Amino acid sequence: AQKVTQAQTEISVVEKEDVTLDCVYETRDTTYYLFWYKQPPSGELVFLIRRNSFDEQNEISGRYSWNFQKSTSSFNFTITASQVVDSAVYFCALRDTNAGKSTFGDGTTLTVKP
Amino acid sequence: GAVVSQHPSRVICKSGTSVKIECRSLDFQATTMFWYRQFPKQSLMLMATSNEGSKATYEQGVEKDKFLINHASLTLSTLTVTSAHPEDSSFYICSARGGTGNNSPLHFGNGTRLTVT
């Protein structure tokens, strides 16, 4: 069975602080995909990043960066110099390669205060 | 980019009535769509996988007779909540993969907030 754990339920930071959202996953698949999505108060989920299990290269996109470590089954997400607009619920998701279904973590609610 | 449109965004209905929610892929064809349910401050729970031209695949514990799914075309899937009860009140979200590959990201509709009175 697949499982995604986002241990941080809520995080509150002050604008311009850096913040890291943790994601730990469990799977028996040797090939799988990991995703991060953002859900702002409006409700729509927005795709942020995808990572294939065979590609451990970390990625940076503007203020966002992702650290994928297969050895610890973690796929952490860091926001640098956070802004109020970053306030949202962030979900980490794991997708298997058979049925193609995605398993979501419980989400981390990030609040960035001005 | 891939756009998924979901309608209606909000619906209030009386107990015992049925509600239909539509999910359309606007600029791409989606042979597979996914229906999720989200309770307040909780994660997304996959209800079913909607397959174009065939029966939907329901997750364990989801009543197929209560949540009817029809995927009649490559751009439209519908979820009908039949004989709705207050406990069916929730946020329902549809999604579709933006490409043919299994690693394609999901693109989500804006969700439908259902309130059953």
pLDDT, tens digit, 9 for 90 and up, residues A11-52: 999 999 999 999 999 999 888 999 999 999 888 899 999 898
Separation CA A74–CA A83 (nearest Å): 25
Under DSSP, the state recorded for B19 is E
Strand partners, A64: A61, A79
Which parts of chain B have pLDDT scores under 70? Answer: 1, 98-102
CB of A97 closer than 8 Å to CB of A29: yes
Judged by CB atoms within 8 Å, which residues 46-105 of B form the interface with A? 46, 49, 57, 91, 93, 95, 97, 102-103, 105
Separation CA B107–CA A55 (nearest Å): 22
pLDDT of residue B100: 66
pLDDT of residue A112: 98
Beta strand B112-116 with B90-97 is: antiparallel
Rounded mean pLDDT, A65-91: 96
CB of A25 closer than 8 Å to CB of A5: yes
pLDDT of residue A99: 67
pLDDT of residue B78: 96
The alpha carbon of residue B18 is apart from the nearest alpha carbon of chain A, in Å, by 23
What values do phi and psi take at A108, rounded to 5?
Answer: -120, 125
Between B103 and A105, where is the model more confident?
A105
